[in-house]
C-alpha cells in the first residue's frame, strides 16, 4: 500500500458520517464462514433448498449449532485463532477512536457499525478498550442495569464530558453497534429483546445427535453437487428420532438470531426490530457526506443488498468495499456494475496479479490483452515446481500455449477472460494430466482496513506492498 492511499483514505472519511458494514469474514478464522468448500454449495444454499425435508433441515441446524453457534458463545478464549481475531477487532476499534478524536465539532464524534455477525467480539473488545480509556462510549442499543433491553431509539445519542467542575463540555468518541441479524446474547421476551450473556450450551442435552456430525461432514466431503448432498442428508435424517429433532429445534429457536436462510423474515422472532434496524441502515446511507465501508460481507442478504444498491443514488455517498480475494472482487464487480470507481471503490487497490501453473518442460505461455501487450516472463518456484507470472490487472486476458518444437503453431487456451476466470483454465501434458492455473493477489480484509485506518502511517519503502 502506498502512502498516498493512506492519506487519501483519511481525507475521504474525515468529517463524514462514517458507517461500517461488517460480515462474517472479519471473525475468521476463529468462526468460519458458511462456505463448505471450493465448488460446493454453502450451508445457506442447503438450508434454503426446497427439496430438503423438515427433519433434515433440523439436522442441519444442529450441525450449524455444533460447528458455528457454540464458538460464538466465546467460551473457548485461549486459542490462537481467538486471540488473532480479538486483536484484529481491537485494532479496528482503537484506530476508529483515534480518527474520531481528531474530528472537529461540525458532526457528532460517532461511527456506526452495522454487522450481521451473531458473535460477541465487538462487545468483548468494547469492554477491553474502555478499561484503557474510559472517555469513550460504546452503545449496543440497550438500556437498563440488571435487565438490559434493546431499543432502536437508544442509538440517537451524543455523549459529552463536562469535567469535574462543569467548566467545559466536550463530546467523547462513540461507536453504535447495530447487530442486523441478532446475537447469541439476545433473548426475545414479552418486554422486548433482552441481553443475556453466558447463555447455556444446549449440546449436552442432545448428545445422541452428535454421532451425525461426522456423517454430515462425510456427505459434504464425498458429494460435489447440492442435489447429491440434499438427497444424502434427507436419507440420513430418516434414521433420527423425530421427537429428538423437534425438541432440539424448539431449544434452538430460543436464540434471537436470523437463520442462515434466504427466507429471513418468516424465520425470525424479532421481525419488527429487524425492520427497524434495516430502516436505520437505510436512513444513514441517505444522509449527506456519508461513507460506507464494507468488510467481510458477501451481500448474500437480499434486504441489505437492496438497501445498499438503492442508496447508491445518493450523490453524497461514497462506498469502500474491502475484498478478501479475486472471487469476491469478481462478484462485487458483477453485482454493482456501473458504480465501480464512480460511487464504489474496491480495496485493496491492486495493479498486478500472480498466476502460477505447474512447470512443463518446453512449454511456452503468452498472456496478452486487447491492446496486444504481451507477457511471457516468469519466475520459477522450485518448492511448488511451478512457474509464476506477474501480470498487470488487465480488463481481459488471452492465453496462448506453444512448445519449443512447434513455435509456429500456438494454441489459444483462453480468450477475453477476467482475472478470476484464469483459474478455470489449464493445460494438458503428454500423459493427459491437466494442470490448472492458480491466481492470487494481495488479500484484503480487516487487516487491510486496519492499515488504512491506523493512527500512524505504516512504514513505506516507495514500492507497492504486494
Residue-wise pLDDT for 282-333, tens only, equals 999 999 999 999 999 989 888 999 999 999 999 999 999 999 888 889 899 9
Q: How far apart (Å, rounded) are the C-alpha atoms in residues 38 and 220?
A: 11
Eight-class DSSP state of 182:
B
Residue reference for cell 513455435: 407
Report the predicted TM-score, pTM, of the whole model to 2 decimal places. Answer: 0.89
And the C-alpha cell for 326? 479475486
Phi, psi of 293 (to 5 degrees): -115, 120
Distance (Å, whole) CA 21 – CA 292: 7
The predicted-structure confidence for 416-464, as pLDDT tens digits, reads as follows: 999 999 999 999 888 888 999 999 887 788 989 998 898 554 443 333 3
DSSP state of 257: B
Report the candidate in 184, 229, 242, 290 with the shortest Cα–Cα distance to residue 46. Answer: 229
Please, which residues bridge with residue 171 across strands?
160
Q: What is the DSSP secondary structure assignment for residue 333, as one 8-state letter? A: H
| Closest to 345 in 3D by CA, of 313, 327, 318 | 318
CB-side neighbour CA atoms (13 Å) of 21: 25
Distance (Å) of CA 207 to CA 62, 210, 212, 245, 248: 11, 5, 10, 12, 11
> Which residues are CB-neighbours of 206 under 8 A, at least 6 positions away?
62, 244, 247, 248
Give whole-number Cα distances, 244 to 90, 138, 455, in Å. Answer: 41, 41, 53
Instruction: Please tell me the distance from the alpha carbon of residue 218 to that of residue 232, in angstroms, as a whole number.
Output: 10
The CA distance from 138 to 359, in Å, is 54
- Mean pLDDT within 188-212: 90
Q: Is the pLDDT of residue 18 over 90?
A: yes
Amino acid at each position: 500500500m502506498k502512502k498516498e492511499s493512506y492519506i487519501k483514505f483519511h481525507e475521504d472519511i474525515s468529517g463524514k458520517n462514517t458507517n461500517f458494514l461488517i460480515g462474517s469474514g472479519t471473525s475468521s478464522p476463529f468462526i468460519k464462514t458458511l462456505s463448505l468448500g471450493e465448488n460446493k454449495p454453502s450451508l445457506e444454499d442447503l438450508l434454503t433448498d426446497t427439496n430438503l425435508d423438515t427433519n433434515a433441515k433440523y439436522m442441519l441446524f444442529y450441525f450449524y449449532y455444533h460447528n458455528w453457534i457454540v464458538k460464538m458463545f466465546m467460551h473457548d478464549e485461549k486459542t490462537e485463532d481467538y486471540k488473532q481475531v480479538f486483536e484484529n477487532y481491537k485494532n479496528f476499534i482503537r484506530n476508529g477512536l483515534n480518527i474520531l478524536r481528531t474530528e472537529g465539532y461540525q458532526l457528532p464524534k460517532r461511527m456506526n457499525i452495522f454487522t450481521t455477525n451473531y458473535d460477541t467480539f465487538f462487545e468483548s473488545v468494547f469492554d477491553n478498550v474502555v478499561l484503557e480509556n474510559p472517555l469513550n462510549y460504546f452503545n449496543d442499543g440497550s438500556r437498563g442495569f440488571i435487565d438490559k433491553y434493546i431499543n432502536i431509539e437508544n442509538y440517537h445519542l451524543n455523549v459529552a464530558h463536562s469535567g469535574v467542575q462543569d467548566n467545559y463540555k466536550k463530546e467523547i468518541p462513540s461507536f453504535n453497534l447495530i447487530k442486523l441479524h441478532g446475537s447469541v446474547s439476545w433473548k426475545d421476551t414479552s418486554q422486548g429483546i433482552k441481553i443475556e450473556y453466558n447463555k447455556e450450551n444446549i449440546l449436552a442435552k442432545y448428545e445422541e445427535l452428535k454421532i451425525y456430525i461426522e456423517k454430515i461432514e462425510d456427505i459434504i466431503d464425498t458429494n460435489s453437487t447440492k442435489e447429491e448432498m440434499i438427497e444424502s442428508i434427507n436419507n440420513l435424517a430418516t434414521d433420527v428420532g423425530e421427537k429428538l429433532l423437534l425438541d432440539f429445534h424448539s431449544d434452538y429457536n430460543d436464540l434471537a438470531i436470523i437463520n442462515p436462510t434466504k427466507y429471513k423474515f418468516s424465520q425470525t422472532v424479532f421481525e419488527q426490530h429487524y425492520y427497524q434496524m434495516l430502516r436505520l441502515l437505510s436512513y444513514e446511507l441517505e444522509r449527506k457526506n456519508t461513507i460506507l465501508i464494507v468488510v467481510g460481507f458477501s451481500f448474500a442478504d437480499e434486504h441489505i443488498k437492496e438497501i445498499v444498491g438503492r442508496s447508491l443514488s445518493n450523490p453524497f455517498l461514497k462506498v469502500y468495499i474491502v475484498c478478501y480475494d479475486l472471487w469476491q472482487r469478481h462478484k462485487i464487480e458483477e453485482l454493482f456494475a456501473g458504480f465501480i470507481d464512480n460511487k464504489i471503490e474496491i480495496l485493496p487497490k491492486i495493479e498486478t496479479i500472480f498466476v502460477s501453473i505447474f512447470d512443463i518442460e518446453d512449454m511456452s505461455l503468452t498472456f496478452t490483452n486487447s491492446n496486444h501487450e504481451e507477457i511471457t516472463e516468469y519466475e520459477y518456484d522450485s518448492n511448488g515446481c511451478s512457474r509464476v507470472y506477474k501480470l498487470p490487472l488487465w480488463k481481459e486476458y488471452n492465453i496462448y500455449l506453444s512448445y519449443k518444437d512447434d513455435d509456429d503453431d500456438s494454441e489459444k487456451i483462453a480468450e477475453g477472460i477476467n482475472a478470476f476466470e484464469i483459474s478455470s483454465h489449464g493445460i494438458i501434458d503428454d500423459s493427459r494430466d491437466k494442470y490448472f492455473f492458480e491466481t492470487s493477489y494481495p488479500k484484503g480484509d480487516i487487516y487491510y482496513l486496519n492499515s488504512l485506518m491506523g493512527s500512524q502511517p505504516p512504514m513505506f519503502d516507495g514500492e507497492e506492498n504486494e
